[in-house]
Structure 1
Amino acid sequence: MSASPKLGNVIAPNLEWVAKVTEEALEPALPIVDPHHHLWQRTGNDYMFHDLLADTQTGHNIVATVFVDCHSMYRKEGPAELRCLGETEFANGVAAMSASGLYGGLRACAGIVSHVDLRLGAKAGAVFDAQIAAGNGRFRGIRYQTGLDKDPGIRPTRTNPTPGLMADATWREGFRELDRRGLTFDSWTYHPQIGEVADLASAFPNTQIILDHVGGPLGYASYASRHDEVFATWKKSMTELARRPNVTVKVGGLGMAMGWFDFYERPTPPGSQELATAFKPWVETTVEIFGADRCMFESNFPVDKISSGYGVLWNAFKRLAMGVSAAEKTALFSGTAARVYKLALS
């Protein structure tokens, strides 16, 4: 059995536990763009290119992926604001390896979403230009982790954000530099802050804003006994957010230790049917509110690997999409991601 993680933390998956349940891929020919995964080397929790390859070679037709910010391989030296370039350089190196064709048809890191500190204000423009150069045509935008809650039991996201950061004048000066360059913005926030994302989207209607992990619904600490209330609040906020046509949603991240599911505490991992049943209210509600052409399934690996294997997760998504049209299915599994991140798929 895997050790119970501390809620809200990113922990290493138990690989022996994950391997206990494998499945043949449903609809193995269906093209998939995985728009959200990480690569990192951390003590006791490595997830590098060979790990991604092993996961993507489980029978599903993963044609491309998008690497997303995780403070990986930052430069050790140089100006502090430019150290984030190391992550883009690292992801671009992996992309170059994948593009060689030596590892099959997968185009890993075809899009790169890294980081720029928007608290630099207008000075962020020079960092964006450096990121564009470092990405060698693959840099698409940034993610900024703004997750923060009044409950001290909720762990803030990595950037140690201050309250109301997305409305801060200097931070928005930095955001304006992103907007001027036609770059994307991934928002990793918690569900009580979805209204702040809506305000940002209204202020920058020409910027593609991607809400990560269905808006980060909190289910632990003071929210642990209020699951029905949280779902209702989340649904209302998502409905209001959907009025901004420049917002799309990554549908996934539900396997994280956020207080909703305890799969990682069980003797064996769930199969895809059990995952689909558990995730169904979140997935169906999100797709109903935003429409398939503004939603994209994501793996969020290796973070979600604490709850299931990669192949099992994509089977769960395929089960959840069984009732949609062919066009909607294409959007959910590849079309929305390819459009938003401007990926040229062969």
Structure 2
Amino acid sequence: MRVDAHHHVWDLSVRDQDWIGPGSPIRRDFTVADLEGEARAAGVDRTVLVQTVTVPEETPELLRLAAEHELIAGVVGWTDLTRPDVADELARLRGLPGGGHLKGIRHQVQGEPDPGWLLRPDVRRGLAAVADAGLVHDLVVLPHQLPACAEAAASLPHLTFVLDHLGKPPIATGEREPWASRLRALAALPNTVAKLSGLVTEADHATWTTGDLRPYADTALAAFGPDRLMFGSDWPVCTLAAGYGQVLETAEELTAGLSPAERTALFEGTARRVYDL
């Protein structure tokens, strides 16, 4: 059994995905049905569906999808963390159809011009409400924002922070610092977890090799360990550089040196525990 801890779906007739450029091969609809065959063929039995846009209407839609599809075991949605009544809003979301599938909240911090956005008092208040609701917080950030992630995690020890895509290291250029040092500082905090996801799209889409990704995966494995790492496909964004099966096979290559128990943790156990699947 395997868990894919990070994927998306969208329907452009319902809502534009304005982060996708004109002419991009992923500027089309992607549905759960599109994913299901590929996931099952790869031995993936459960998934975590993650938000893509910062609008309040999307999360209820994702929760309904989770209620309708056995494949989706959990949802990481969005709500405005700065709203004064964020605790009430989280309770409302959990009361909606499929609301029991809400496992975490994510904000597109990578798009915030303030590198210390996570440290704002109103944001910290929202993050505390996420923790009080028994949810986790997914971090989608760029390397220069990792220090603020570590400071936020240190100030909120009762909240689990899940780093998406290893903080988007600069794989295409081959640089490792200061990303690696910042990642290790975040991983030193016990309430942090990371996803082995999104690496192929940080590399050169046309020429990447497993060897290009290995130094970054090895850094994460040494920092977090398999009990605090989880596999995510980042489908369909990954299709810009690789198909679903290839992404999973690459993750298997990158973790081939782990013991069977460690591989079970990375491909299933960590996600089940962290997201309470």
What TM-score do you get using the length of structure 1 for normalisation? 0.72
Deviation at 1:326, TM superposition (A): 0.9
Query: Matched residue of 2:45: which SS?
Result: strand
**Residue 118 in 1 paired to residue 81 in 2?**
yes
The one-letter code matched in structure 2 to 1:116 is: T
Match of 1:240 in 2: 185
Determine which of 131, 155, 159 is the counterpart of 2:93: 131
Give the ranges of 4+ consecutive aligned residues of structure 1 lying more than 4 Å apart after TM superposition.
none
Unaligned runs of 5+ in 1: 1-30, 75-83, 100-106, 148-156
What CA deviation, in whole Å up to 9, does each residue of 1:176-224 have, x standing for no partner?
211221210001010111110000100110111000100122468xxx5
Q: Distance in 2 between matches of 1:131 and 1:95?
A: 13
Determine which of 48, 57, 60 is the counterpart of 1:89: 60
Match of 1:151 in 2: none
What CA deviation, in whole Å up to 9, does each residue of 1:292-324 have, x standing for no partner?
000011101111111111011111111122211
Q: Distance in 1 between matches of 2:143 and 2:115?
A: 14
Distance verdict in 2 for CA 1:48–1:161, change over 3 Å: farther
Sequence identity percentage: 31
The one-letter code matched in structure 1 to 2:62 is: A
Deviation at 1:161, TM superposition (A): 4.8
Determine which of 206, 209, 212 is the counterpart of 1:278: 212
Q: Distance in 1 between matches of 2:256 and 2:266?
A: 12
Q: Distance in 2 between matches of 1:335 and 1:294?
A: 9
Match of 1:205 in 2: 157
Question: How does 1:1-346 map onto structure 2 within 5 Å?
Answer: 31-42=1-12, 44-57=27-40, 59-71=41-53, 84=56, 86-99=57-70, 107-108=71-72, 110-120=73-83, 122-134=84-96, 135-147=98-110, 157=111, 160-218=112-170, 227-228=174-175, 231-256=176-201, 258=202, 260-263=203-206, 274=209, 276-343=210-277
The 8 Å contact of residues 115 and 144 in structure 2, kept in 1 or not, is answered as no
Deviation at 1:94, TM superposition (A): 2.1
Deviation at 1:232, TM superposition (A): 2.1
The 8 Å contact of residues 209 and 248 in structure 1, kept in 2 or not, is answered as yes
Query: Matched residue of 2:82: which SS?
Result: helix
Structure with greater contact order relative to length (CA < 8 Å, sep ≥ 6)? 1
Q: Distance in 2 between matches of 1:49 and 1:161?
A: 33
What CA deviation, in whole Å up to 9, does each residue of 1:95-140 have, x standing for no partner?
23323xxxxxxx22x10110011121x3211111111112431111
What TM-score do you get using the length of structure 2 for normalisation? 0.89
Distance verdict in 2 for CA 1:305–1:90, change over 3 Å: same
Q: Which has the larger radius of gyration?
A: 1
Q: Distance in 2 between matches of 1:98 and 1:219?
A: 35
Query: Matched residue of 2:256: which SS?
Result: coil
Q: Distance in 2 between matches of 1:298 and 1:161?
A: 27
Deviation at 1:170, TM superposition (A): 1.3
Q: State how many pairs are aligned.
A: 263
